[in-house]
Structure 1
Amino acid sequence: MKEKRKLETQVGRPARISRDEIAESALSLGLDSMTLKKIAAHLGVDHSSLYRHIKNRDDIISMALDKAIIQLDLEAKTDDWKLYLSHIAKSLWDMYSRYKGLAATVRSSEQTPTTFIEAFAKACSNLESFGFSIEDAALIVDSIADMTADSASLWQRLETADASGNKGVEQLSHSWKKAKKPDTAKHVDHVLKIISEDPQLWWSKKLDLIIAGAEKYYYR
């Protein structure tokens, strides 16, 4: 594909790329580190070719967010509302795990993409069908969405190495070990254990806590 584009450029033809391909490239490269030059190189086209399809970097991010969010599976395939909440939470976690930098981009965005609003409304409506009020459904879905985005963005940031090659998780562990004293030892050791484990394990426990709280709203 890239060789074909290079040949087309050589004979004076405009490279055949689309907005969808640009968005996919941005997601593949990582929204936290992608640049227009990196996307152009990834697609095998000249940097200026991108401007035939997009306005600026923000336009690419908007496209990438839409492309990622429409992949969410929010269908209610169970009669158990707890399983449904676990399902949509796992769908969110998988999306953020698949696309590096997406969670941080969502959390830092000053505007909410229309696709995200539509996904939020769909999840709430499905939860309402189980018997939750619109207010409670919105609170629960929002809590899961916020917690999942925060957890995913934090752990991805901790797994990123700095200029010296040191990962954030190593620095975090060091700060806890440094503060370890007799009266804090057991708690420090517990946190160090959490840091060393698969981040999805701690995220899943937070999810269980939210679902347990949601049960209070279900029966009130």
Structure 2
Amino acid sequence: MTESARRGRPPRITRADIAVAVLDVGFADLTFAAVRERLGVGETTLYRHAPDRDELVRIGLERALSEFTWPELGGAWQEMLRAYGHAAWDALAAHPGSATEVAQGVVPAAMAELFTGVGEALVRAGFTAAHAVLAGDLVFDLATDNRRGVEHLDALVPAAGPGRENIGQHWSAGAGASPTEALELLAQVQAAIVSDPAQWFAAKLDVVLAGIAVSIGPEG
């Protein structure tokens, strides 16, 4: 084989191949060995594209986010930000384990682009640049943290803990609570634990959006 033929030989795998393999394996079970086995390549070949597990996560997240249908950036800022909060939650929910990775600081370029787009839309709606960043960060952090909590409560990631069904037994009311208050508080804690995660997130998001409106939202 000539030198020019060797130079023109296509790579055995592409970044897109790796992304598909990562999503097939799943973030909760992601290892180099699992991705190599899925692709049918050796360790050196995979390392050329992804030097560590974090890069595998970024490659997978880039594809997951690019395949997701995101809301339009326009209209009333409250509804736009609410739509993006729910979309971020849904995008993470579609790939169990992804929220835990993002919460640990593994953030792909596509996520940064989404955040920037939302910030620009908020500025157009009347926010200052600083307040636009703060508002967007609050909503995206809430979606990520809530999904991460769901992943751990539902034991969707390794070493996540005992699971949702066991956590309620460890709660107790404070020493100063009356018997009636204690029962009511414990009942509400139990209700929160077993509630639909999407509805619980929606309730939290409404509170956050109301706070943004009165504290840093555009005047008028």
Same fold by TM-score, threshold 0.5 exceeded?
A: yes
Number of residue pairs aligned between Structure 1 and Structure 2: 201
How far apart are 1:127 and its partner, in Å?
1.3
**In 1, are the aligned partners of 2:99 and 2:144 still within 8 Å (CA)?**
yes
Correspondence 1:210 to 2:205: no
Matches of 1:41 and 1:18, distance apart in 2: 15
Structure 1 portions without partners, runs of 5+: 1-13
**In 2, are the aligned partners of 1:37 and 1:47 still within 8 Å (CA)?**
no
Match of 1:95 in 2: 91
Match of 1:10 in 2: none
Match of 2:140 in 1: 145
Secondary structure at the counterpart of residue 218 of structure 1: coil
Q: Which amino acid aligns with 1:115?
A: A
Q: Which amino acid aligns with 1:118?
A: E
Tell me whether 62-71 or 34-43 shows the greater mean CA deviation. 62-71
RMSD: 2.7
- When residues 137 and 42 of structure 1 are mapped into structure 2, their CA distance, relative to the original with a 3 A threshold, is same
Task: Trace 1:1-220 onto structure 2 (pairs within 5 A).
Answer: 16-43=12-39, 45-48=40-43, 49-71=45-67, 73=70, 75-76=72-73, 78-109=74-105, 112-160=107-155, 167-176=162-171, 179=172, 182=179, 183-216=181-214, 217-219=217-219
Matches of 1:163 and 1:112, distance apart in 2: 20
Secondary structure at the counterpart of residue 184 of structure 1: helix
How far apart are 1:167 and its partner, in Å?
4.4
- When residues 147 and 163 of structure 1 are mapped into structure 2, their CA distance, relative to the original with a 3 A threshold, is closer
- Give CA-to-partner distance per residue, 1:103-142, whole Å, 9 cap, x none: 1111112x64333222211110011111111121111100
Matches of 1:156 and 1:211, distance apart in 2: 24
**In 2, are the aligned partners of 1:158 and 1:169 still within 8 Å (CA)?**
yes
- Percent identity, aligned pairs only, is 26
Q: Which amino acid aligns with 2:203?
A: K
How far apart are 1:156 and its partner, in Å?
0.8
Matches of 2:157 and 2:128, distance apart in 1: 46
- When residues 187 and 112 of structure 1 are mapped into structure 2, their CA distance, relative to the original with a 3 A threshold, is same
User: Using CA pairs below 8 Å that are at least 6 residues apart, which structure has the higher relative contact order?
Assistant: 2
Q: Which amino acid aligns with 1:25?
A: A
Structure 2 portions without partners, runs of 5+: 1-9
TM-score (normalizing by structure 1): 0.79
Matches of 2:71 and 2:130, distance apart in 1: 19
How far apart are 1:16 and its partner, in Å?
4.8
